[in-house]
A = this chain, B = another copy of it.
Amino acid sequence: MKALIIAAGQGTRLRPIGDTKPLVQLLGLGLIERVILTAKKSGIKEFCIVTGYHGEKIREHLSDGKKYGVKIQYIKNDQWTRGNAVSILKARDYFKESFVLLMTDHNYDSRVLDQLLKTKIAKDECILCVDNNPQDHLNIDDATKVLTFDHRIETIGKDLTDYNCIDTGIFICNPVIFDALEQSILKGDEGLSGGIKILTKRHKMRYMPLGDNFWIDIDDKTDRKNAELLICNKLKKDTDGPVSKILNRPISLRISKILLKTGITPNQISVLSFMIGLAGASLFFFGEYFYLVLGGIIIHIHSIVDGCDGEVARLKLRQTKYGGWLDSVLDRYVDAAIILGLVYGYWSINGDITIWIIGFFALIGSFLNSYTSDKYDSIFRDGDMTKRSKFRMGRDVRLLLITIGALTNQIPIMLIILAVIANYEALRRLIVFRNKLDDGMQITDREFTN
């Protein structure tokens, strides 16, 4: 399916932060870049953009879309001072089948479009995503109100007094929309809502509720601030461990926002974090308390920065499988280097061989902890299980333990604790899922590789 994006208007209220509204920056991306990359997540690969005011700047910036991994076509609307409906009508010849209709200034959770694309609609219908539980940040006076009845939209407009939800500006349309818009323009209404009203009268305008997903209309500086907050809040993941949640995430988010402005890629951040980790680990090899303290601090910094690659990737809508993989493998090497450093350093000073055996168990536990994490989290995410135990034993906890052990000069005890709880957790996960996973979940050959 193709998407039509309306980017013709002037957006005067955003003027103070940018002259060309679609290119106004929001967390490292222009507004229209966010719209394109969010839709791409839902599988949309072809875009038509209607440009008007400062159209050449937009075309120059986005070009043919190759750098986003999509195809972009442009449609020029010289009459951009007129309403939205005129812009959409310009695209008439490009859309002979159903298509996604999006606004430049609306930002939304990619799950919204996922759900919308799954909804079945008839050839003569359109469907709009509506928000029936608008958040505080929404400027109600400026919003387009919607009254729904049964499965369809009863009426729509900015001045409705009797309404039950808000237009999010995310549509799936069929070409019937063009005739409706034409009729509406003839009647003197040049807004998109005019065309929608005509469809509602024919009982051909349906809706899908937004649910728990987020959306936001960015019309001025305050909206942008709210959008930043909303998007950053989304980065706090339900799989975050306690240390990550309380100590690391608040700081790493601030660092990520700075990194966004530098243009550094998520994979470069992974490598940077890796090098910080190795630097900390190499200090441990000396074994003396001074180096332990220094190393411990650096490992804590590593633990924080390690969250930034994923954050920047998600903020820039640029997550890749490779990125996730690179990060995981490099983290495993840092884990190993840290434990080896601690063991070697302790042994070189105390000469006690037991530390090597303890180190082995700590290393095994660390690895198994990571090895089982992905599966553990995905099982919870798929909703098959009852609530996960509140304390998630993960890398954030392991690294904090190491920092505490180094700062207090208690390497053997810390490694023993690490070995016990990491291995205990790996075995606990095995036992917890013993019965729950065993039946009814047949799989392909894939799972039996090692």
Contact = CB atoms under 8 A, between A and B. Distances in A.
Interface of A: 40-41, 69, 237, 239, 267, 306, 309-310, 313-314, 317-329, 331-333, 336, 339-340, 343-344, 347, 353, 356-357, 359-360, 363-364, 367-368, 370-375, 377-378, 381, 394-395, 426, 430, 433-434, 437-450
A325 B367 contact: no
Please state the number of chain copies in the assembly: 2
A447 B359 CA distance: 28
A27 to B, nearest CB: 16
A106 to B, nearest CB: 20
A69 B442 CA distance: 10
5 contacts: A41-B442, A323-B438, A324-B447, A324-B448, A332-B371
A448 B363 contact: no
A442 B320 contact: yes
Interface of A is mostly: helix
Nearest to A237: B445
Contacts of A372: 325, 329
A403 to B, nearest CB: 17
A449 B395 CA distance: 10
Contacts of A444: 319
B363 A437 contact: no
Given A331-B450, A343-B356, A367-B367, 7 more contacts: A318-B442, A324-B448, A326-B430, A328-B371, A340-B357, A360-B363, A374-B449
* 7 closest cross-chain pairs (CB), A and B: A324-B447, A322-B437, A310-B448, A336-B364, A367-B367, A356-B356, A322-B438
Interface core residue of A336, A363, A447 (most chain B CB under 10 Å): A447
Given A332-B371, A371-B367, A449-B377, A40 B437 contact: no
A321 B444 CA distance: 9
A433 B326 CA distance: 10
A320 B438 contact: yes
Contacts of A347: 353
A441 B324 contact: no
A218 B191 CA distance: 69
Contacts of A318: 442
A430 B329 contact: yes
Contacts of A375: 321, 325
Given A69-B440, A322-B437, A371 B448 contact: no
B319 A433 contact: no
Contacts of A329: 368, 371-372, 426, 430
A360 B336 contact: yes
A327 B443 CA distance: 14
A424 B343 CA distance: 24
Contacts of A395: 450
A30 B357 CA distance: 50
Contact of A430 (B325, B371, B443, B450): B325
Contact of A434 (B322, B331, B343, B364): B322
A441 B320 contact: yes
A333 B450 contact: no
